Amino acid sequence: MESTPSPLSPATEEPAYRVFLDSLDYLNPEEIERIELAYAYSAEKHGNQKRASGEAYITHPLSVAGAVVEWRMDADAIVAALLHDVLEDTGTTKQELSDKFGREVAELVDGLSKLDKMEFASYQEAQAENFRKMLMAMARDLRVVLIKLADRQHNLQTLSAMRPDQRLRIAAETLDIYAPIALRLGLNKLYRELQDNSFRQIHPLRAEILARAMKAARGNRNELLSKILDGIRGKLSSAGLRADVFGREKSLYSIYRKMKEKCLSFSQVLDIYGFRVVVDNLPACYIALGALHGLFKPVPGKFKDYIAIPKANGYQSLHTTLIGPYGTPVEVQIRTEEMHHVAQDGVAAHWLYKDDEEHGADLQIRTHKWLQSLLEMQSHDSSEFFENVKIDLFPDEVYVFTPKGKIMAQPRGTTVVDFAYAVHTDVGNHCSAARINNELAPLRSELRNGDMVEIITSPHASPNPIWLTYVKTGRARSKIRHFLRTVQHEESARLGERLLRQELLTLGVVPISIPTEAWDQLVKAGGQKSIEELYTDIGLGKRLPSVVARRLLAREEMSADSPSNMTLAIHGTEGMAIQLARCCQPIPGDPIIGSIKKGSGLVIHTHDCQTIRKSRSSEPQKWIDVEWEPEDGKLFDIRIKVEVKNTRGVLAQVAAAIAEAGSNIEHVAMDADPERLFTLLRFTIQVAHRKHLADVMRGMRHIPEVSRIVRERGGEI
């Protein structure tokens, strides 16, 4: 269709725009008319705005729309690409866009627009929140991310006019976030381009030297490559296969990364070139593989079948490495034409190749599930969410099996705990052990390709903060943090309620006698949303119970620092809201005292702990009298030092005595004296109370080789 350009902007006369219009031949006349209208509207709104390079701003949305057209996307996506900056840069409202171009286009453009940076304390926080917004829009409509990637691609190509610090920031962000997203969506061609362009911005000199080395190597190895190519074509032809065979060169960044990770020089990187074989159908892939293994010997362990087990982004191919002429390793990928489309353009292949509707739809469903899994990592902290998503953008994967034979793709380095959370949040929260290939394994065990993993759960098990030190996936990290944060708040609320009740009783007031209006006024004055939130703040040490009690009773004339004279009873099993100090490790039976520590709740020490001596004398108002309330079944860690004569088998005797007294050994270390007459054994053991500890120590004293036993106190570590 030959349409009349809108009179809204002289930019419609630009040659680039005419070329762009010629590429819209797959759309109907009405759709092309809408796109022309969108271009004219965008040109008018951006008006005299210029890019950093001095070009008219309209050249940028036109280039982004051109990339979207290459993927043969629909008219709404192209219109949104042309308008993607108008909300952010021109003062146009979302409602205006909706009225003029439809609600769907307005939603796409809104998903691509950044939030107001003035709302945030730092650039990093603003970026994290912008990224969260984009992901949420992506989950609703996949076209958002495709337009965003095209936008980033053009920005990278035109970075030269920007300040060096801006170039580095944008390039680093692309390597960290946008290139992995492109890979995760199967956009391999775009992925390599984003990586190479970012690499050239971050390390321009290295990129230039490497490019020259590649060019030289291309000439030096031309004869060898031609020989391999002819050999592959001849072998496939003799096997009766019709195939397209072509060489491919590794990207600059992938070669640089391999050199850096494996500490290789350029001359040591032998697999710079690979070969791609595209055949007619799936059976032909395996016939071609057999033929090539007959031509050149395969390298053991270097064969991967991504057809039987596709990558999570839908990628399918057979990969094999062969030993070619003169011992040169040759990488070969074998795939069908359909697989090749998906390998190059991933989810965009759905728009590119309409004859592949079924596979494209399946690919989009899988991608949508992945985006939903990212949104499940939502947290109150945008930066934490950003960090979790970055962790989850792993390019390498391992494939493991459930006991029922289901295949699950996991990031390389994933642990049993990561796998448990991948199965279900409840499985992760209650996992207590695991079997890998029918053998019991620790929760921190890393999974390998082909492992069969069975998670053992227990209703009493719960996430341990230590898990955060070794889990690999953002999903697991997010779920563990959420659980710990929720549990801590619940426990802190219970503790805060007890502390405030105790303070009120100290002041001679029964809490139930205080009218509801007084509680409501207190909550409102403190800026909390509910009484539970007030209790949580007290339990976490953010507010002092003595001050809250006096405000509640409107008795400010009393000293807010006057200490309470009642004793708080604890079990020691309350969880995260009450912590037993590591310096003195109190156990039931020890005289104890507590202090509210901001963010940690109530921290319990022994009365004679050396660590707190100064604070108790200088700040007595911070300390609360605490006593043990009996509870069966709980064991507490305690440290003891045992001096023994250096004789054979003495450690076994001491360990047996500890076990006979009903205690567990958590840790043991040894220090021998220079003359090797005595050895100092340092144990961390578990006991129920002070009497239990006395029984353990009595049992060890019966051993003739034991000369001294001491319980380690604060300050002796």
Q: Which residues are the active-site residues?
A: 88-89
C-alpha 476/C-alpha 472 separation (Å) is: 8
The answer to whether 682 touches 671, Cβ cutoff 8 Å, is yes
C-alpha 221/C-alpha 568 separation (Å) is: 81
Task: From 197, 204, 163, 161, select the one nearest 179 (Cα to Cα).
Answer: 197
What radius of gyration, in Å, describes the C-alpha atoms of the chain? 34
Match 């947290």 to its residue by tokens.
379
Amino acid symbol at 210 = L
Task: From 409, 411, 458, 414, select the one nearest 433 (Cα to Cα).
Answer: 458
If 0-12 CB within 10 Å is exposed, 13-18 middle and 19+ buried, where does residue 685 land?
Answer: buried
SS3 content of the chain, % helix, strand, coil (to 5): 55, 15, 30
Tell me the two tokens of residue 97. Answer: 């866009």
Neighbours of 111 (CB within 10 A): 23
Tell me the two tokens of residue 622. Answer: 């911070």
Neighbours of 433 (CB within 10 A): 15
Tell me the two tokens of residue 444. Answer: 């921190």
DSSP annotation of 299:
P
C-alpha 83/C-alpha 717 separation (Å) is: 65
DSSP annotation of 445:
P
Residue 118 is inside which H or E element, if any? Answer: none
Q: What is the DSSP string of 599-615?
A: TTEEEEEETT-GGGHHH
Neighbours of 131 (CB within 10 A): 18
Report the side by side order of strands in the sheet with 578-580. Answer: 568-570, 623-628, 592-597, 601-606, 578-580
Tell me the two tokens of residue 301. Answer: 């362990």
